[in-house]
Every structure is written in C-alpha cells, then in structure tokens.
Structure 1
Amino acid sequence: MKSLYRLVVTEKSSVGQSIAAALGVTGRKDGYMEGGGWLISWCVGHLAELSEPAAYDPDYAKWRQEDLPILPESWRFTIRADKRSQFDLLRTLLRREDVSEVVNACDAGREGELIFRTVYHLAGCTKPVQRLWISSMEDGAIREGFANLRPGRDYDGLHQAALCRSKADWLVGINATRLFSLLYGRTLNVGRVISPTLALIVQREAEISVFEPVPFYTVELDCGGMTAAGERLSDPAEANAIAAACRDSPAAVRTVERQEKTEKAPALCDLTTLQREANRALGYTAQQTLDYLQALYEKKLCTYPRTDSRFLTDDMESAVPELVSAAAAVWGLDAPEEILASQVCNSKKVSDHHAIVPTRSAATTDISALPLGEREILRLVSQSLLRAVCPPYRYAETAVVAECGGHSFTAKGKVLLDTGWRAYAELPQDTALPEGLSEGLTLPVEAVRVKTGRTSPPRHFTEDTILSSMETAGAEDVPENTERRGIGTPATRAGILEKLVASGLVERKKAKKIANLLPTQAGSSLITVLPEVLQFPLLTAEWEQRLGEVERGTLTPEDFMDGIAALVRNLVRDYQPVPGWEVLFPSERETVGPCPRCGRAVTESKKGFFCDNRDCRFALWKDSKFFSAKKKSLTKSIAAALLKDGQARLTGCFSEKTGRTYDAAVILEDDGAQTNYRLEFERRS
C-alpha cells in the first residue's frame, strides 16, 4: 500500500523551515520539504490577488467615467507573475494522490486564512483541511499546536470575512480612485481606510493653521524652598496688581493635604502600543516596528506580532515566571523579586492572539548578534513584560494652599514611597516640599514674579499620536458593542500610513528624532473634495462590525457585499465636482498658452496639447493628419504660437501634388466645438 502524506502550507518559507525542524522533517526538495509522512511548502505571501478591472473587460484598461461603477458579477484572481512557479508547485502538491490531508499553517489571522484558502481553491483542491493556530514559533509551541489541530471548517467564517473585506476594499478603491481622478484631472488614491486617516491629518493641520496663541499670566511666590503659583490670568494689569499686593507681605499656610497615590503597572503590549512606544523612544515608523517584530517572531524570540490583546490567557500563568526570566536576561538585569503573574493573565480580554511577550528562547540568545532594530524592539517587548508583572508605583503627593495679599497660591510636591514597576522604567523626579509645613504657619515671601506664557497650538501628528487617533477615531459615533472601533486594525495601520506617504498625500518631516506626518497640498485638496462618507471613520467601523457578523455567520457574505455595491453605485451616481476645484488641483505641467475657448491654461501631454478645464475639451492633437500630410509635426513652439497669435509660420511644407516644399502660415480656426487648420500663403511682390 502506498504511504500517505499530510501537506503543511505556511505563509513564508522561514515559517516552513521552523515547522519542519519542530516536526523532524529534514528532506529538502525544490520549494518544499519532505519526511516522516509530512510535506511542507509555503505561499510566499499573497500568491494570488483580486484581478485588475481589465481582466473583466479589456476596455477597463482605460479610465473612463462612463464605465463606472465597475461591479464584477463573478470575481477573478490573478496569480502574480513573479510567484507563478511557487503556485504551480503548491497546486501539484495539493493534487498529489498520496496527499490525504492539508494543514493550513499560514499566519493565524484574517489575512493568513485568505492567503491559504485562495491558493487551495485556485488549485481545485477538495481534500480535508486542518488548521494550525499558534502564537509562538518555538518548537514546543509548534508541536503542541500540531497535537491540537482544529477542523478547517471552524474558520469558514473567518475566510468569508477576509474575502468580503478584500472585495469591498477593491470596489471602493477602484471606483472611487477612478471617479475622483477623472473628475479632477490627476491621480487621487481613495480608499476606505486611507481616506479617513488622511482626513485626521488634514484636520489637525487646519487646526494648527488657524490657531492663535493667547497670552496668560501667572503670579509666583518664592517662599524659601517652595514655589507657590496663583491661577492663570488673562489680564496682565490684574497679574501685576496681585504681585504688588504680595510684595513685602508674608504668606499664610491655609491647608496642607497629603495623599498616598498608586500607579498600576502598564498592561502588556499589543502591536499598536508597541509601535507607539517604539516611535516615541526610538523614532521607528509603525512599519519598521512591525517588520522588526515579524523577524523576531520568525527567529522564535517573540510571540505573534499582529495582535490587539494586552493580556495572556489564564492557562499561561504558570509559564509567566520563566518568560519574565527571559525578559530580564535580554536586559542583563535581575528579575523582579515578586512576580504578579495573575495580573497579566485574563482570557476574557484575549481575542485571536495574546499580548506580545518574549519567548523562552530569548533567554539563551546572543542579543548582541541581532540587527540593531530587532534588538531594540526585543528590549521594548521585554521591558513591557518586566513592568507588567510588578507591584504598583507608589508615591505621596502633598498639596499646600497659602494666602498672600488676599489671594490664594498653590504648591505641590511628590515623594517616592515604593518604586514598584518603575524599577524597569523612568522614575519621576521627587519634588519634595519643605518639612514642617502646617496650617497657620507663616512663610516669608523672598520674591514675587509674574510669569508670562502663551497657549500652545495642537501638535503635528507623529506615528505615535496618529496610531492613537486611528484606534479611537469616531468612537463617539460607534455603538458600544462594536468589536473593532477606529480606523484599520493593528495588522493594517502601518501599511495605511506607508500607502499615504507613497501616494504623495502625506509626507514625513523630521523634527529632531521624531518625524511629523504632514499632508501635502494634494492630500489637503483631496479631503476638501471628498464626500463625508469617505472621510469619516464611521464607515470603516460599520464595516468591521458587519465583517464580525459575517465571521460569526449571522450575516451572509452576499448581504454584506450588496451593501458595499449600493454605496459605490450611489457615489458614482450622485457625486458632483466641487465648484472652483481647479484652484485645488493646479496643473503640474508647464503652460503652453491660453485656451481660445475658456481662457484656462493649455498644457502638453503625450498625445497633444489640452485645456486644463476638462469640461472645455479643447485639444490640439499631435497626430493631426493636417500636419502629417505636410510631413510636419505639431511641436510645442508651433502650438504656443497658434494659441498666442492664432497662427504660426511653417517652413518646408511638403506638397503631395508637386512633391516640392513650400512655406506658409497655418491658421487656427476653432468654433467652440471643433478645431480646424487652414493655410495662408505669403503674397509675392
């Protein structure tokens, strides 16, 4: 009897190699591994993607408003040319008669499910599927995962949600991008998630541009080792009057209040929290942090990166001390004496994957051999765990209210009681007040000053602050039971920011170590003309809510897609260009001359000279038969003369009748609908 194999399909070759090592598979083949009843191969990311519009109709290769909306009835996929050979190999393996079962070992999430299922279906495979769902690439975690494989059908809803998300983004992206690009005469990238993110950045810059600083004044008393401040005042005369009343007067202590306060240890890191911290501390972009973290995951030094959870599961509590020891080893420090494992474990707060923590392998790895970026991110992840298992940071805060010149002044001081989790973080500086302060005590006033300040404008967005805003955007408009709020997901937010920069809608401007995210002129103009439905995060939040329903099986994929198609139809049918939009999108091309019909600029393109006003439709085509018959070309200089003077001199024109050449003036004639030329010959004396 012929032996049977189980085929394992991973997302990347590096993951395939790790699984092979954990399962003891050593036989190397071209594009896969074999041994012990296992075949292990990989997808190399997305092997197949939703086809471009031209795959449905060759006419869609050209962008034309009359073709919109483009709504495929039967969706098609295109296999990327650079990945065709790997797809062909996987198709062969999936169809092998000696393969009895397939294990989906792609990343345990929405995109990983989509990557596997797309290849599985395109290969025409119908063999039973098991699902590997793990959060760590360590050998022990892999073997435990294979011992607890789940039926692939348990993730049918996850696949349907992933496929709906992909199709919906295609519909909005293709149709909205073409619509607005055609209407406004330049390529404008529009999408469900990039547009509301851009809107946040544009709105912030608008707030900064209109901000007018307001001066304020504060009276301060120097009471010998203690500075007491009055309330903010808007009137400098009032502040000076209070200061005058306090000079040569003592201050009387009215109240002294001492409170002990605690700060709980921060929770563990999810992806967004780590990206924000890495941007603040290291200046890394969200994409850099994700890339470094993915590399650490594949090197078995960190757990799964694309998570939105900040806790571990309850069954991991016994493993926490060992993980903490590994985190301490990364820093070369001692582990906390008291490890509060229970405060980082809560299964109810864990979704698909638990929080990001270092693995046991990190304890025995030569950290200095890692690339700098990976090393710094591993240190941040380890620091997060060390802090999270510690007791609270405790301090005593004393507030003193004193009276001088008939006015109240306040001073506050802070004294450390217990370092707690701040043993692994920055410790705030003590600001102790003088000892012996009590109610009724009289203090000498050694100096009085009026301090001037100005209100500050909102800060430019950085990757840290935009990620925070993306998480919470539109939360006030979203139902409380919505599973995912804000814009995008932890797995996609870095890509959203990179796409905005790559498309020229946002730019990074370095300010010391951190780069600010600023909208370009094109980005600001795009938000000015976009309808509200594409600007505000409510749309993407509603999508995520409905995608969750698809995943759970309470909403059919067909009903979800019907809603998206209706949105696109309405957008194409109802949207009208903003009046005066030409000012928002000035042509980037050099002006050749004024349009004889509307007076707007005529600029040069590959095929001719066209009016920037798309409604005008004035054109001088370079392939004009009038010029080609005379073996002449419509050059920019000739076009400029025609637009300026209505005529241009031509020399060496070819005569088809005589075969000779001649000189003449070409006259431009335009009746508002059509453009024609005629020749005018010079009179001979």
Structure 2
Amino acid sequence: MILCITEKPSVAKDIAAILGANTRKEGYYEGGNYKVTWTFGHLCTLKEPGDYEERWKRWSLGMLPMIPARFGIKVINDSGIERQFRVIENLIAEADEVINCGDAGQEGELIQRWVMQKASIKCPVKRLWISSLTDDAIREGFAHLKPESEFNNLYHAGLSRAIGDWLLGMNGTRLYSLKYSSPGNVLSIGRVQTPTLALIVQRHFEIQNFKPEDYWELKTLYRGATFNATAGRFHSPDEATATLDEIRQSPLVINDIQEKKGREAPPRLFDLTSLQVECNKKWGWTADETLRLIQSLYEKKVTTYPRVDTTYLSEDIYPKVPGILRNMTPYAALTESLLTSKLPKSKKVFDNSKVTDHHAIIPTGQSPAVLIGNERQLYHLIALRFIAAFYPDCRFLSTTVSATVGKHGFKATGKVIEDAGWRKLYDDTPAEESKDDTSDDRILPEFKVGESGPHEPALQQKTTQPPKYYTEGTLLRAMESAGKTVDDETLREAMKENGIGRPSTRAAIIETLFKRRYIYRNRKSIMASQAGIELIETINEELLKSAKLTGLWENKLRRIERGEYSATEFINELKTLINQIVISVLSDNTRSKIQIEVESKGKNKGGDSEPAKSKGGDKPRKPRTPSVRKFEQIECPLCGQGNLIKGNTAFGCSRYREGCTLRLNFSEYPETLTPAKLKKLLVTNKKK
C-alpha cells in the first residue's frame, strides 16, 4: 500500500481523485494501491520546557538558560489533532511506501517530517514537489517523484529555524518577563518579532525627535516650462531672496539641449512580499489578508505556489507560457498580439540562477470563474503583471534643457512616450508612479540653443518632513531588507537573503505584534503602542533587537537550505548567544539592586537548592562547616536568587544546577576570607 500525506483535506481530495482513491474513510481516502490522508497544518510541535525537565515548568531566573540536550517533538494537545494523528500513525504502520505530498516549501517539509518521525516511520519515503495544484501539475509531479533525501537540507533549515525560535523565544521571554515585568505580565521576545518591533519603535522616535526646518526652492517659468535652480535648496531666506532679486534683472539663456531615448521594462513578476506590498498600496489590504487570499487562489488552482521569494521563472516554464496565455480566455484581447509570434525570452523573466524551490507567482491558465470578491481583484492584478512581462518595453524620449540666468544655472526636464508598450495594459499608470517634485514629464516646447528671453522667477517656501510611519507595505519592505530602504529592484533581490523572517512568516509576525498590543493601526499607518516602546527600551541587548543581525541569521538559514552551512553550527551559535544574553542581563541589571543581607541564623535563603551528592552514590555529603554555612547567607550577586557557597577553587552560587554561572575565583576572592570580609569586599567592588 502506498500512503500519500498532504497538508490539507482539500489537496488530499484532489490527489485522491487523480489516483483513483475515491472511497472516503475516517480521516483518509482509499482506492487501488493508494491511501491519501492529511495533516491540516501542524500536528506536532517542539516540546515545552517542562516536557524536558520538571524544574523548567516553574518560571525562575535561576533556571535560565534552558537549553535541552536534545530537542524533541510532541503531538499538539487538541482532541481533533490527536485523532487525526492516530489515523496517520496507523496508516504509516501499514504502508509499504509513503509519498510526502506536503506544501512544497520549508514549512511544509517540516510539518510532514515531524509527523512521520513521531509516527516512527520505517518504510521508504518519496517527495511530491509541485508548483501548482492543477490536475496536469499533480500528474506530472507523480510521474517524477523525488527521493526524500533531496530535501534533507530544506528540513534541516526548517528545524534550525524552529529550534532557534524556541531558544530565543522561551529564554528571552522568561528572562525579560521575570526581570522587568510586573507579576503575571509577559514580555514577549522573539527572533523575528523583536527586531520587527524595534524597527517600528525606531521610526516612532525618528518622527518624535524630528525638528522641521524651512527651506526655499527657486524656480522660474520660461515659455510655459518650469526651470529649477540647479543649486538646490536655500536654507537662508535672505540668501534665497537676494538670489531671486538678482535673477529678475537678467534674461534666461538656453545653453544646452539633451535628448535621450529611454526604455522602461515591464515590472517584475510577483513574489509574495511584492504582492502584499502592492495590495496594501492599492487597496489597504493587510499582509495577512493578502496571504490568505493568494493561498485560496492557489488551492482553487488558478495561481501557482504563493509562499515564494523570487520574481523570476525557471527556463523550463518558457515553453508552457503560450499555453497558459492561450487558456486565459478572459484576457484574450490582451494576449492575442503576443500569441501571433514567438514570445521574448528575457533574463529579467527567465533565470534559473534566481529560482530555488519555486518560481514567481503566475496564473496557471485555469479559469478564474470560481473566484469571488477580492479574489477576483487579486487574480486580475497577477494576470496583468504576467501578461505585461511579455509586452514590449515602454519607449520614451526624455529631454533635458539647461539654461542660465546670470551666473545661476537652471534645468527643465520633459518626457514624451513614443511607444507605451506594456503600459497599454494599465489605464491608471500615471497614478501608480511616484514622482519627486523635481520631475516634469510634460511635453516641453521646442527650444534652441542660444535663445533667450524674459522669465518669471519665484521662490517656494517648504518645510522638511519627518519620515513617514510604516504601513504594512513599507514595513514588509523594511523586513525584507533588514531595515534598509531599497527601491532598486536588482539590489532588492540581492538583499533578500538577509531579510528579517521569510515571506511566508512575515504576515504572521506582524499579526502577532498586533495581537500582543505592541503595535496598532491608525488608518494605514502602523504605530508603536506604549507597551511596545517600553519593551524595546527595556531590552538593552542589541543582539535581540538588531535587524541586521537577524538578517545575518536568516542568511545562514538559507545557506543551510543549500547545503553551504551546518545546521549544528547554527544551533550551537544560538546556544552560545543565549548564554551570553542571560549572563549579561542578569549581571548588568541585578548588581545595582543587590542587597547583601546581614548574616543570621536560620535556613538557607535559597530555599530550593538540593543537597549536594557525592560522586559515588546518592548519599548526601557531610554537613558543611559553620563557615561555609555562613557564606550561604550572602545573596548571589548574579542571579539574585541563590546564595554564595564555597567550592574547591572559587565561590559560586547555590543555584549552579539551575544554570547560574557565577564564579568568584580564589585568585580575586581568597578562600581565607571570612563571610564578613567577603561581604565587605563585594560591597566595595559593587561601588566601583
């Protein structure tokens, strides 16, 4: 029996129909040699801290950092999930072969692998890897099944991401909640979430601290054309006025005319982020809303796999493009001219080196009649972008006219569209373009070098503007480029590997920040709440909130996917980082609050430390001497919860088993010190 495991019931139904497994059972389909079941998303997750060690169930600074010796997974505690997992587990036990039909991406690979591992799979596994859910694509995929081993690096990258998020999330959240939050209030820390929030908070302060400045621009009108002073802005009103008075006395002289033919290529095909950005700009849709809609289009078979970060197609798609265009019958009037001759094969569209697991989002050629509401709008956006990719460039003639008025230079620019090319597809092209206030695309009158005449100069007073609040669209761009503003498409492509998060997860990260009330919406703008501002101000570790550093981690995860970096090395780096952060936060922020208590009789203030055991067995060691006992009345100056104890080579903390790393070497704190002298020395060093 061959078992196919999909990620969703709807996909299972489609695959079952193609394989002839038409009998519906409880949790699966069967027919012939096939059974087809599904996971409906995550059935398994990494274990909670308390699943590894009983003592980690309690939130305590002394327990940090929590670093399991080996990470494990468990079935999510939900009756429906547990029931479906048992179905899959039983089917796997009966199977001679399993075909992993999960979503063809990193997250899909992780979901399926965890389920198969938890079910103790023993039989061979193959992988169905497809970019669309059309019947033809599914049949082709089954005809070219791949060995599971081809996707091991993808799984290792997904596992590394999950473990990294666990390490930073679990430890960081407990660390900052226990240190800085009021009882019962959780300060949520995350590998991607916190740097994203830091970007928003940084923008808040940039706007808050912005000091507007007035400036003046000098322009003059000559024969109906606006000429701008080439000197740029004036920051002094007196200087601006003096220049204005000066040029009023002189004619404007045309001294150079440059005409240059230009071409504008069609816009790039959509990846997920650019699609979310465009939908936010056009219709104000949230990133999450766009993701849900494009996922629906994919499942309705009208567009290809959506969770992609490339704007290119692989070269093997080229022969299929005419068929796709031909099947897009609602757009026949736009595709007709393309199908009369051979389609262009541009490197700006087809480039294998820019495509990894999947290509850009394009229509499949299936009828969009099944779509409703906003799905239709989204499909139309994707369809036009796809068709435009094969239209000719927009050709124009740009003109730059240079002039002088006395000793001051001026310039006027204009653009004439000679052939609209792909722009014919867009009725709202002018509105889509963003132009700065020095551009002028109007048709200029015909000038001649050497001509001169009167003109009408004027000053325009303006004020510098603060940066704009992020919208979801601009925030997605900032996440994609690790906080840097990037408009150039080529540079944007190059920086994607250093972005914060992945296209498939960024929407969820933004939604998480909304749900935790660290940010809120004000119309289209995203604002940092007071809670969000205070959280970022509380975090004194740049490592936790650095967009640049998180981008470097993301780069390593992508390299793990390609087999260029070790997953083990990545996890070990994060473990070291967590240790450093815990030690740094506890030491830097606890010592200022330390109060070394007066020695007193009574029980150990630590309260919960276990008696030390000998190496030879379970018998407790002999009771400590009174002097050692007195040392234990001194509170640990690192974790603030344990007490000092005297070891063979150094003083340490009674909570060393819980992870406190305090060590006061005898070279600096001699073992001959009495408790009173040690207390005095600690107080003296603290004051320094």
TM-score by length of 1: 0.78
Instruction: State the SS of the aligned residue for 2:554.
Output: helix
Matches within 5 A, 1:522-541: 522-530=531-539, 531-541=541-551
Give yes or no for the alignment of 1:427 onto 2:429. yes
Q: 1:10 aligns with which of 3, 6, 13?
A: 6
1:402, distance to aligned residue in structure 2 (A)? 2.3
1:548, distance to aligned residue in structure 2 (A)? 4.1
1:561, distance to aligned residue in structure 2 (A)? 2.4
Which whole-Å deviations, capped at 9, do the CAs of 1:331-374 have from their partners, x for residues lacking one? 9745554642444222121111011001110xx332xx523221
Conserved 8 A contact 1:508-1:516:
yes
What is the match of residue 462 of structure 1? 471
Matches within 5 A, 1:217-296: 217-230=216-229, 231-247=232-248, 249-296=250-297
The amino acid of 2:89's aligned partner reads R
The amino acid of 2:553's aligned partner reads W
* Structure 1 residues 200 and 550: alpha-carbon distance in aligned structure 2, compared to 1, 3 A threshold: same
The whole-number CA distance in structure 2 between the counterparts of 1:581 and 1:370 is 62
Q: 1:48 aligns with which of 44, 47, 62?
A: 44
Conserved 8 A contact 2:391-2:422:
yes
Matches within 5 A, 1:2-151: 5-80=1-76, 81=78, 82-96=80-94, 99-151=95-147
Conserved 8 A contact 1:161-1:547:
yes
Conserved 8 A contact 1:331-1:379:
no
Matches within 5 A, 1:350-429: 350-361=355-366, 364-366=367-369, 370-425=371-426, 426-428=428-430
Conserved 8 A contact 1:68-1:179:
yes
What is the match of residue 489 of structure 1? 502
* Structure 1 residues 450 and 496: alpha-carbon distance in aligned structure 2, compared to 1, 3 A threshold: same
The whole-number CA distance in structure 2 between the counterparts of 1:554 and 1:223 is 61
What is the match of residue 206 of structure 1? 205
The amino acid of 1:420's aligned partner reads G
1:553, distance to aligned residue in structure 2 (A)? 4.8
1:190, distance to aligned residue in structure 2 (A)? 0.6
Conserved 8 A contact 2:12-2:38:
yes
Conserved 8 A contact 2:480-2:495:
no
Instruction: State the SS of the aligned residue for 2:497.
Output: coil
The whole-number CA distance in structure 2 between the counterparts of 1:209 and 1:332 is 52
Matches within 5 A, 1:549-628: 549-553=559-563, 555-576=565-586
The whole-number CA distance in structure 2 between the counterparts of 1:405 and 1:213 is 32
Conserved 8 A contact 2:74-2:118:
no
What is the match of residue 644 of structure 2? none
Conserved 8 A contact 2:481-2:495:
no
1:94, distance to aligned residue in structure 2 (A)? 0.7
The whole-number CA distance in structure 1 between the counterparts of 2:61 and 2:331 is 58
The amino acid of 1:208's aligned partner reads I
Instruction: State the SS of the aligned residue for 2:304.
Output: coil
Conserved 8 A contact 1:474-1:536:
no
What is the match of residue 622 of structure 1? none
Provide runs of 4+ in structure 1 moved above 6 Å.
480-483, 577-582
Conserved 8 A contact 2:394-2:419:
yes
The amino acid of 1:564's aligned partner reads L
Which protein is richer in strand relative to its size?
A: 1
Conserved 8 A contact 2:172-2:190:
yes
1:240, distance to aligned residue in structure 2 (A)? 2.0
1:563, distance to aligned residue in structure 2 (A)? 2.1
The whole-number CA distance in structure 1 between the counterparts of 2:463 and 2:446 is 35
Conserved 8 A contact 1:246-1:404:
yes
Which whole-Å deviations, capped at 9, do the CAs of 1:57-84 have from their partners, x for residues lacking one? 3443332111111122233323221411
Matches within 5 A, 1:334-353: 334-337=335-338, 339-343=343-347, 344-353=349-358
The whole-number CA distance in structure 1 between the counterparts of 2:12 and 2:155 is 21
Residues paired across the two proteins, number: 568
The whole-number CA distance in structure 2 between the counterparts of 1:55 and 1:330 is 56
The whole-number CA distance in structure 2 between the counterparts of 1:178 and 1:475 is 30
Instruction: State the SS of the aligned residue for 1:360.
Output: coil
What is the match of residue 633 of structure 1? none
Conserved 8 A contact 1:336-1:386:
no
Give yes or no for the alignment of 1:162 onto 2:158. yes
1:194, distance to aligned residue in structure 2 (A)? 0.9
The whole-number CA distance in structure 2 between the counterparts of 1:283 and 1:262 is 31
1:95, distance to aligned residue in structure 2 (A)? 0.8
What is the match of residue 317 of structure 2? 316
The whole-number CA distance in structure 2 between the counterparts of 1:275 and 1:327 is 23
1:556, distance to aligned residue in structure 2 (A)? 4.7
1:399, distance to aligned residue in structure 2 (A)? 1.4
The whole-number CA distance in structure 2 between the counterparts of 1:114 and 1:334 is 40
Matches within 5 A, 1:296-311: 296-311=297-312
The whole-number CA distance in structure 2 between the counterparts of 1:580 and 1:328 is 69
Which whole-Å deviations, capped at 9, do the CAs of 1:156-207 have from their partners, x for residues lacking one? 2222221122112111100000000111113111111111111111111111
Structure 1 unmatched ranges of 5 or more: 583-614, 618-685
Instruction: State the SS of the aligned residue for 2:399.
Output: strand
For the aligned residues, what is the CA RMSD?
2.7
1:616, distance to aligned residue in structure 2 (A)? 12
1:304, distance to aligned residue in structure 2 (A)? 0.2
Q: 1:508 aligns with which of 513, 521, 527?
A: 521
What is the match of residue 193 of structure 2? 194
The amino acid of 1:458's aligned partner reads P
1:576, distance to aligned residue in structure 2 (A)? 4.1
TM-score by length of 2: 0.78
Give yes or no for the alignment of 1:518 onto 2:527. yes
The whole-number CA distance in structure 1 between the counterparts of 2:290 and 2:336 is 26
Conserved 8 A contact 2:199-2:483:
no
1:405, distance to aligned residue in structure 2 (A)? 4.5
1:571, distance to aligned residue in structure 2 (A)? 1.4
The whole-number CA distance in structure 1 between the counterparts of 2:510 and 2:374 is 20
Which whole-Å deviations, capped at 9, do the CAs of 1:518-555 have from their partners, x for residues lacking one? 11112112222320111113433343344345445565
The whole-number CA distance in structure 2 between the counterparts of 1:19 and 1:464 is 36
* Structure 1 residues 551 and 316: alpha-carbon distance in aligned structure 2, compared to 1, 3 A threshold: closer
The whole-number CA distance in structure 1 between the counterparts of 2:590 and 2:461 is 44
* Structure 1 residues 376 and 233: alpha-carbon distance in aligned structure 2, compared to 1, 3 A threshold: same
Instruction: State the SS of the aligned residue for 1:491.
Output: helix
Deviates more, 1:296-305 or 1:30-39: 30-39
* Structure 1 residues 256 and 107: alpha-carbon distance in aligned structure 2, compared to 1, 3 A threshold: same
Q: 1:152 aligns with which of 148, 152, 173?
A: 148
1:424, distance to aligned residue in structure 2 (A)? 2.2
Give yes or no for the alignment of 1:473 onto 2:473. no
Conserved 8 A contact 1:184-1:581:
no
Conserved 8 A contact 2:223-2:445:
no
Conserved 8 A contact 1:320-1:341:
no
The whole-number CA distance in structure 2 between the counterparts of 1:33 and 1:47 is 19
* Structure 1 residues 383 and 533: alpha-carbon distance in aligned structure 2, compared to 1, 3 A threshold: same
Conserved 8 A contact 1:258-1:399:
yes
1:21, distance to aligned residue in structure 2 (A)? 2.5
* Structure 1 residues 356 and 581: alpha-carbon distance in aligned structure 2, compared to 1, 3 A threshold: farther
Instruction: State the SS of the aligned residue for 2:429.
Output: coil
Instruction: State the SS of the aligned residue for 1:345.
Output: coil
